[in-house]
Chains A and B, each alone.
Chain A
Amino acid sequence: MPLRIGAVAIDFPVGLGALAGYSDLPYRLICRSLGAPYCITEAMLDRQVLLEGRLRKRLIRLDPADHPVAGQIMGVEPETMADAARSLDRMGFDIIDLNFACPVRKVVSHKRGGALMNDPERALATVRAVVDAVPGRPVTLKLRRAFRDADRTHESFWTIARGAFEAGASAIAVHARSVEQKYTGRADWGFLAEVKRAFPERTVLGSGDVSSPAEALRMMAETGVDGVLAARGAIGNPWFFAQARDLTAGRPPRQPGLDEQREVITRHYRLACEAYDPRRGLKILRHFSLQYAKMHPRRTDLRNALVKVRTEDEWRAVIDAFYSS
């Protein structure tokens, strides 16, 4: 069941979605090594992409092992978004992904991300400008089903989705919640099925409430979407993709042992230190270790120990103590 986004072929339809603070290069590389076929960067502000500086260096990192990869951008002005897309295109990102879905207050209040679900004209102007700026490069959109939760007509969604495909977008990824909902309540998978029925010939990806590999496969089976983006469900479980492949192949999913979990966590730490610096690497891994703890049989004890960690030695001691079989 391969997936195609424009000219980009993806061998398996479950990918890592964008999640600020998590889907950075080190974690993407960890997921790649464990079977993730497609990843999306953290959302980058269009202006950050264009400004030379440390933040740009931190956000925009590519690795030969991290392909196909989509660079996700968000912004307000279509022209700036087009310039940022051009810049990502030159750097070698395989796909340009436009974020019209982020529900975070500080993003929406600046009329970025999910705010575009309330402004279809600007959203479509952005799509047209970006598609024109990167000819031949697949452009995708991340959308939510509506801005307001009470909006049951989803008029803005349909306007943006239809207009985007007409403008040359290669795929849309739909989070089945409204912007107002943020991450609360249930995602409306019925809406995903409706979207796929409306665009049977187009690539439609689904997201929302994909908490396990089984849920990812169930979303495809129940809604007919061509692929699934897992974000929160795959944070702390980079084996998510290998397990989804196992389930698809009719095999019982492999459960990583404690030694393997420790190896992946320490590899993640090394990658984070390389990508940033040891101080920031430790901070990131301390944060990630709490997510990795979800897979540990003594997760509460482990979390309690991790929150007290202040130094690298303390972190290593906790990891050694809890991940020795």
Chain B
Amino acid sequence: MHRSPFSRRLALFVPALCLASAAAAATVPAIRSDKLSTPVLLDGKTDDWTAIPRVYDAKSGAEFAFQNDARNLYILVVMKKPEPVQSIEATGMIVLGRPGGKHKPAKGALFLNREISADGYIVWRESQGAVLTDADKAEIRKLPRHPISLAFAVDAKGSSYGPLRKQTDVFPPDSSTGPQESQPAFEFRIPLASPDLVPGGIGGVPGAPIRISFEWGGTDRSNLSTEAGRESPNSRSGYMSGTGRTWGQEYLDSFDSLSRPRLGDTKKFSFAVDVTLADAK
């Protein structure tokens, strides 16, 4: 039977692609999440992680470690090279979970650290349930800018929802960054609950495996840009800000033009690992 050059090339290419895919799938490392013995303090320090096994990503030079209880998954990321740190500073870190394997839809959280003005910081703290006296506010205004950590519920398709607030979103995902030393550490807390139950949750089951993927840096993620059509908390979810403005609008307003999250021009990184969650009964 005569075969055209194209079909011959295709006949070679398809099996090669399958092999390449299989090889890529096989390279996903696996690790066990340790059962949480004492609560992890989100302070960006590695004290709570001394005996926890780590998995190393050669491309980014980052180490990842996991602990969980029945409510949350805690993740430590230690960056050992400067470039991935610049990327995470520019675009934040997306952590997605695929319970039951790679074919399941992935959902998770985007963590973003920013600095905002003192007045924006006061609004933010109060929205988180803090009761601030005039003296507290005066103290805050002594510094022109303040760091904040934000979390958004996101999925693999790029839609996002947030920023999530402690007051109404029930302990949403949270994060902390350690001192910017030679190996900065990032700690993340993500609810194991289904995203239908807790925005930002990854739907993990203690005792079962879950594929956790990390994405940061790059320029092509529309959900990293505040200019993009971000889905703000809406009446469907019942989470209205009470001010007549959506949280998304308030969020945008809380930044000035200098600190507005921007489309980064940094290198893009991604890493996936199959994590077997500890049965935390």
Q: Which residues of A contact B (CB under 8 A)?
A: 211-214, 218, 221-222, 243, 246-247, 250-261, 295-299, 325
Please tell me if B197 contacts chain A, counting CB pairs below 8 Å.
yes
Known contacts A213-B197, A218-B238, A258 near B71 by CB under 8 Å: no
**0 or 1 for each of B64-77: is its CB under 8 Å from A? (1 = yes):** 00000011100000
With A257-B70, A257-B205, A257-B207 known as contacts, the answer to whether A252 contacts B198 (CB < 8 A) is: yes
A176 to chain B, nearest CB (A): 16
Smallest distance from the beta carbon of A192 to chain B beta carbons, Å? 14
- Taken residue by residue from 242 to 281, chain B's Cβ proximity to chain A (1 for < 8 Å, 0 otherwise) reads as 0000000000000000000000000000000000110111
Cβ–Cβ < 8 Å partners of B72 in chain A: 252
B36 at the interface (CB under 8 A from A): no
In the complex, A252 Cα to B276 Cα: how many Å?
20
B171 at the interface (CB under 8 A from A): yes
Considering the complex, give the chain B residue whose CB is closest to the CB of A322.
Answer: B208
CB-based closest 3 A-B pairs: A325-B207, A257-B206, A297-B100
Partner of A299, one of B71, B100, B170, B204: B100
In the complex, the chain B residue whose C-beta lies closest to that of A243 is B197
The interface residues of chain B lying within 8 Å CB-to-CB of A243 are 193, 197
Asked if B163 is an interface residue, CB under 8 A from chain A, the answer is no
Beyond A243-B193, A247-B197, A297-B204, 12 extra complex contacts between A and B, CB < 8 Å:
A212-B194, A212-B197, A213-B197, A251-B71, A253-B193, A254-B70, A255-B70, A255-B193, A257-B207, A257-B279, A297-B209, A299-B100
Residues of A contacting B197 with CB < 8 Å?
212-214, 243, 247, 253
* Distance in angstroms between the alpha carbons of A37 and B205 in the assembled complex: 25
A325 to B279, CA, bound (A): 7
Q: How many A-B residue pairs have CB under 8 A?
A: 94
Would you give the shortest CB distance from B192 to chain A, in whole angstroms?
4
Report yes or no: A252 in contact with B279, Cβ–Cβ below 8 A: no
Main secondary structure of the interface of B (DSSP, over half): loop
| B264 nearest CB across to chain A (Å) | 30
A325, B170: Cβ atoms under 8 Å?
no
Cβ contact within 8 Å between A296 and B205: yes
A296: chain B residues at CB < 8 Å are: 100, 205, 208
Bound complex: CA A179 to CA B276 (Å): 46
- The listed residue (B191, B237, B279) touching A258 by CB distance below 8 A is B279
A-B contact pairs, 14 of them (CB 8 A): A218-B238, A221-B238, A247-B198, A250-B171, A253-B170, A254-B70, A254-B71, A255-B205, A256-B205, A258-B207, A258-B279, A297-B100, A297-B204, A298-B101
Contact call A295/B100, Cβ cutoff below 8 A: no
A7 to B207, CA, bound (A): 43
Which residues of chain B from 88 to 121 have any CB-CB distance to chain A below 8 Å in the complex? 99-101, 104
Q: Tell me the smallest distance from the CB of B64 to a CB of chain A, in Å.
A: 20
Nearest A-chain residue to B210, judged by Cβ: A297
Asked whether any CB of chain A lies closer than 8 Å to the CB of B196, the reply is yes
Looking at the assembled complex, report how far the CB atom of A115 sits from the nearest CB atom of chain B, in whole angstroms.
34
Chain A residues whose CB sits within 8 angstroms of the CB of B204 once the complex forms: 255, 297
Complex alpha-carbon distance, A21 and B280, angstroms: 32
Q: Quick one: closest B residue to A255, CB to CB?
A: B192
Collect the chain B residues with CB atoms within 8 Å of residue A212's CB.
Answer: 194, 196-197
What residues of chain A lie closer than 8 Å to B206, measured between beta carbons? 255-258, 260, 325
Distance of B259 from chain A, by nearest CB (Å): 29
How far apart are the CA atoms of A259 and B191 in the complex, in Å?
19
